[in-house]
Structure 1
Amino acid sequence: LFVLNISFVFHEENILHSLHPLAPPAAAQLCYENLNGSCVRTPYSPGARLALYDVFGFGAVLAIFGNLLVMISILHFKQLHSPTNFLIASLAGADFLVGVTVMPFSMVRSVESCWYFGRTYCTMHSCFEGSFCYASIYHLCFISLDRYIAVTDPLVYPTRFTASVAGMCIAFSWLLSVIFSSSLLGTGANEAGLEELVSALTCVGGCQIAIFLIAKQQARKIESLSNKTSRSSGSYRDRVSKRERKAAKTLGFAVTAFLISWLPYFIDSVTDAFLGFITPTYMYEILVWVAYYNSAMNPLIYAFFYPWFRKAIKLIVTGKVLRENSSTINVFSE
């Protein structure tokens, strides 16, 4: 199932002005003052710009360094080498890349209302945005499957969801995401049937890419699996089930945060495309950045629920991970 989303610039400028980029109002500011066909620039006041740069910049920094800590923690400490954690590390990689390749450039675009990074990177930026979004969907689906097996049958789980299976899931998530996004943009399939509209809205200093975004119905299957766990005798099984349910609950919060962050944006994209793009610019920017901020939320969730992550952060920040044999440190000890 695919839903149509005409990108940021459709909401950034008044449609009537955008249809006549060569003749903007006399008082209007332009992205490029000396170029014909420049997009109209609608900047915020200096105080509002500074506040927006602070908010958006904080989200980007948190997404970059928070997810970097998740990846280092899981990949460095041998105790954390498990199929589930490998999926979490790969998901953190997608969020990290959103913080590096998407959020800083979108920050400038949102605040300055102009795209200053060239047409080539406009296309790449849109490809990155789609690829990492799709990768998050697939990772969350596999994590949900992993947690379902672990909670419903914890004794069989180690033989079903092994490290090699997790590796295949990770490879599938990344390859399919990148191939799908790049093929849409590379072949022009994303603009099929919208050529006239896209052409009319093309101006210098804009980044308008019509993108198909996949609906995240799979991610709606949030795990409420604790009540499905079959009861059985044996202290070992009970102990394992309790640990797996706790992990499922934590990852369930991550899935819920993902839905809360992205669903408003997707719903608006679907409805607005059919209603003539009537969503105000400021509202669209809010929805976009709420979605972006999801990339910064997972490290906070892990830090709140996982004591091992808090201990790993301390070891990393204090430089103890640089010591010999630091990878064997017991991060589960109090």
Structure 2
Amino acid sequence: MNNTEYQQNITVLYCFPDNNASCRKEVRTGPAYIFLFIVLSCVSVFTVFLNLLVIISISHFKQLHTPTNLLILSLAVADLLVGLIVMPVNIMLFIDSCWYLGKLACSIYSVVNNLSTAASVCNLIFISFDRYVAITDPLLYSSRITVCKISMCIILSWSFCLMYMIAVRHFNHLLSPSQMSIRCYGECVIYVKHSWVITNLVFSFLVPCSIIIILYSLIFKVARRQAKAVRAVTNAASHKHGDKVSPETKAAKTLSIVIFVYLACWIPFSLSSLSVESLSSSSMVWTVFIWLVYMNSTVNPLIYAIFYEWFRESVHYIVTCRIFESSPSRLILFPEHV
């Protein structure tokens, strides 16, 4: 869609016609926008459904109560917030630019949006560390990484992310109160100083991603060395039974796909944010970058469905309603974790 068609499909009205301070209302009409509305709404519903399956699976089946799966559960909760709150609000603003829910709801939405993002980053860092310990020190993994320790890490990380988001909004308001003032009645645009954008980019994206990439580089270096050693010792057995990938290595490879998909989704948005003063824009390119980020929350459960046997088996129990059988939480989904 070119700029001429884009302008022709926008009818300019006012959000609150009886208020002289009302913002201009942009209602996007036309078959293209109706089609996008339907597609994006389906994506939102699909995201909620898939992440609910992950949450129910890990929460319900005791066999899945492992440290790694708890981190996946926490990541799914963050992705669920995106599909349940962030996506629907953005769809609403995409079709109708007006904000009808008031300043408090705007602030809450901004916090939830950024909280789900920050929590996802923290979860990915913990997942990377969890896989690093599992690969480099498998004999002591069960004693060093426990369900209790991971649960505490998850609680602390979510609490820290929430306090960080509230602090950023508070100090940004103190440092630039004029920019934080609402220009007109009926908008939800969070203005931030350029220095805060750079600071947030460094601490919420560059530093965490550097840690993740370094850890996974070490993981695959160790995994390659271990694979060579195993093949050298059990060369005859490998010819007889075929090369067998260890559960730890398979999990590391699967979760590395989750992480690198995350990076691919976030890099365009993070780089483009350096040239934008506000966190909301009508630019179509900006909209594409934002939805590319949101789509990451849809892709993660699909990766589990493709690579994880436990997810496929648990979904089968959930969809067929077999989880309502007696003591279903103790069902054996598979002989051993893979």
Q: Considering the TM-score relative to the shorter chain, is it more than 0.5?
A: yes
Question: For the structure 1 residues 60 and 277, does the alpha-carbon distance in structure 2 shift closer, same or farther, using more than 3 Å as the test?
Answer: closer
Report the alpha carbon displacement of residue 62 of structure 1 after superposing the two structures with TM. 1.9
How far apart are residue 227 of structure 1 and its match? 2.7
| Matching residue of 1:219 | 209
Letter in 2 for 1:264: P
Task: Find out whether 1:195 has 2:177 as its counterpart.
Answer: yes
Match for residue 164 of structure 1 among 127, 145, 148: 148
Find the aligned partners of 1:32 and 1:292 in 2 and give their Cα distance: 30
Q: Which of 328, 331, 335 is matched with 1:329 structurally?
A: 331
Partner residue of 2:42? 58
Instruction: Indicate which of 238, 254, 274 corresponds to 2:258.
Output: 254
Taking structure 2 as the reference length, the TM-score comes to 0.81
Aligned partner of 1:38 among 14, 22, 29? 22
Q: Shift of the alpha carbon at 1:116?
A: 2.0
Supply the RMSD in Å over aligned alpha carbons.
Answer: 2.6
Asked whether 1:263 is paired with 2:267, we answer yes
CA contact (8 A) 2:82 2:113 kept: yes
Q: CA deviation at 1:314?
A: 1.0
For residues 95-143 of structure 1, give each alpha carbon's deviation from its aligned partner in whole angstroms, at most 9, with x where no partner exists. 1122222221121012212212221100100011111111111111011
Amino acid at match of 1:215: S
Q: Which residue of 1 aligns with 2:164?
A: 180
Q: CA deviation at 1:28?
A: 3.6
Say whether the 8 Å CA contact 1:154–1:241 is kept in structure 2.
Answer: no
Amino acid in structure 1 at the alignment position of 2:188: C
**CA deviation profile, 1:207-245 (whole Å, cap 9, x unmatched):** 01135544312134232423323535688xx99972111
Contact 2:75/2:123 (8 A) holds in 1: yes
Deviation at 1:277, TM superposition (A): 9.8
> 1:317 is matched with which residue?
319
Q: Is the 8 A contact 2:190 2:280 kept in 1?
A: no
* Cα 1:86–1:103 shift into 2, 3 Å: same
1:70 to 54, 61, 66: 54
Maintained 8 Å contact 1:64/1:100: yes
Q: CA deviation at 1:154?
A: 1.4
CA contact (8 A) 1:102 1:125 kept: yes
Stretch of structure 1 that moved more, 205-214 or 309-318: 205-214
What is the aligned partner in structure 1 of residue 8 from structure 2?
none
> 1:43 offset after TM fit, Å?
2.6
Structure 1 residues 288 and 121: CA distance shift in structure 2, 3 A: same
> Which structure 1 segments of 5+ residues have no match?
1-26
Distance 1:114 1:75, change over 3 A: same
Residue equivalent to 2:108: 124
Q: 3-state DSSP class of the match of 1:293?
A: helix
For the residue of structure 2 that corresponds to 1:102, the secondary structure is: helix
C-alpha separation in 1, matches of 2:155 and 2:60: 20
Q: Is the 8 A contact 1:312 1:331 kept in 2?
A: yes
Counterpart CA distance in 1 for 2:220 and 2:332 is 28
Contact 1:202 1:208 in 2 (8 A): no
Contact 1:191-1:210 at 8 Å conserved across structures: no
Conserved in 2, the CA contact under 8 Å of 1:151 and 1:241? Answer: no
- 1:244 pairs with 2:234: no
Supply the AA of the counterpart residue of 2:177.
E
| Equivalent AA in structure 1 for residue 311 of structure 2 | F
3-state SS in 2 of match to 1:210:
coil
**Does residue 208 of the first structure (1) align with residue 174 of the second (2)?**
no
Aligned to 2:137: 153
Distance 1:280 1:182 in 2: 26
Higher helix share: 2
- The number of equivalent residue pairs is 301
Shift of 1:305: 0.7
Normalising by structure 1, we get a TM-score of 0.82
